[in-house]
Amino acid sequence: MLYTVAQFGSRILLFLMLPFYTHYFSPDEFGIWDLTVTTIAFLTPFISMEIIAAVYRWLLDTENEGKRKTIISTGIYFLIKNMLIFTSIAIVILLWIPVPYGVLALLVILTDVLYSFMQQITRGLGKNRLFASLGIFHAIMFISVILFLIFALNLTIEAFFYATIVANFSLTIFALFRGNIYPYISYAYREATLIKPLLAYALPIIPGALSWWVISLADRYFITWYLGVHDNGIFAIAAKIPAAFMLLNNVFALAWKDSAIRTFHDEEKNTYYSNVFSVLFKGLSSAVICILLISKPLIHGFIGIAYADAWKYGNILLIGALFHACALFWAAGFHGAKETKPIFTSAILGAIISILGNILLIPLFGLYAVAGTSAISFLAVWVVRVKQASPTFHIHIHRKVVVIAILGVSIAWGLPYVFGNVLLLLSTVGAFLLFAILWREDVWAVLGQLKKD
């Protein structure tokens, strides 16, 4: 429930700002900002080298205060060293090549790395209430600053940069002192020998962590190259549809990763993993079907006419997001085993498929090709991870459930091309009621467990 607050509270606030952004910014302007954000997100894991994920994973294995100080101090000093190296390289590049908003983008990256580190420390130390509040406060701070900059100072795209920097820095300081984290940080606690196992765990995660962003970044640059920033603006809005779905999944994924790691060495882990996935897949596939039906009315009703076709591409991306969610479920098992190389190899495969698909198909099918190759890439990542997991853990996939889900998704994907908005809204209600009946046993089981807890 705390993770739900952290994810939904912050993301809903940001999502409610979307109609304002599409009204205030043209597709070209929004396309430029989206390309910048995607590039920043792509660079960040290379700077942190995913040491943040490793620190979080190591904190879960101990409650000893001395060990916690060693883990956190070692991680933060390694992170600061990387940030200094990256900053030096970035300054040299910016002096030679004039990159638009380059300095602001650099500050966004640095503050984002520090903020992410503080978030994961609070989570690793079990301060879940603080972790949840950070997400809410960050969204409130970002929205407040950006509204002030736009209406009071008449800023445009640069307002996004300033708001992000202020929110990241403010919440980093807040977490440091409110969470009483600063006593854990000292040069004296740093342990050089700990870096090697941390990096052995962290480095293979980079492609896995980047799988969504590698594919998205390639998409954005190929769209801009072949079709222009206007179409990239359309695609940026289309990408909000799977982003809403991934918000639902991420709420679960945060808690699932904790649970998968803690139960990995249990004798009944395969049964436990399989039962959880069965319930999850039913819920996620049902959500996908409902979103497929409602996306067109929502785009037409709340987003500008310039973005009216975004649902066509967003719905295909949404199907890919379902595959991505399944791949992330398997990734949690690999984290439990501290075997992150399968995450690396499967993510590389997905990125290759996406890039080749874009090169070959965008000239023929435009944005449909981008969305389609993205979905195929995530499907490939999931299938490969299922096969890679067999020596370590086994998750049983119920064929009947998968067949029903595929049939439902196929129908829901086609209906918006035939039905008007009113019929689609009615179909969404019908689909919701149908799934409530089909999966009623799982629904009652979950509600019963919540009531018991």
Q: What is the DSSP string of 45-57?
A: HHHHTTHHHHHHH
Structure tokens at 19: 């109609």
In the block, residue with structure tokens 């977490």: 175
**Identity of the residue numbered 302:** F
- The three-state secondary structure class of 259 is helix
Continuous segment of H or E residues that includes residue 354: helix 341-365
d(CA 253, CA 248): 9
Residue 379, CA distances (Å) to 113, 134, 185, 354 in order: 29, 33, 42, 11
Q: Is the pLDDT of residue 121 over 70?
A: yes
Of the spans 128-142, 169-183, 224-238, which averages the highest pLDDT? 169-183
d(CA 175, CA 320): 35
Q: Is the pLDDT of residue 92 over 80?
A: yes
pLDDT category of residue 385 using cuts at 50, 70 and 90: very high
Residue 220, CA distances (Å) to 229, 371, 403 in order: 9, 11, 33
d(CA 261, CA 36): 34
d(CA 286, CA 280): 10
**Identity of the residue numbered 177:** F
- Residues above pLDDT 70, as percent of the chain: 85
Q: Which residue has the higher pLDDT, 151 or 10?
A: 151
Structure tokens at 135: 């997400």
Q: What is the pLDDT of residues 32-87, one digit of tens each?
A: 777 777 777 777 777 877 778 788 777 877 777 788 888 888 888 888 888 899 88
d(CA 317, CA 239): 7
Structure tokens at 323: 């595959």
In the block, residue with structure tokens 């409902």: 290
d(CA 450, CA 446): 6
**Identity of the residue numbered 359:** I
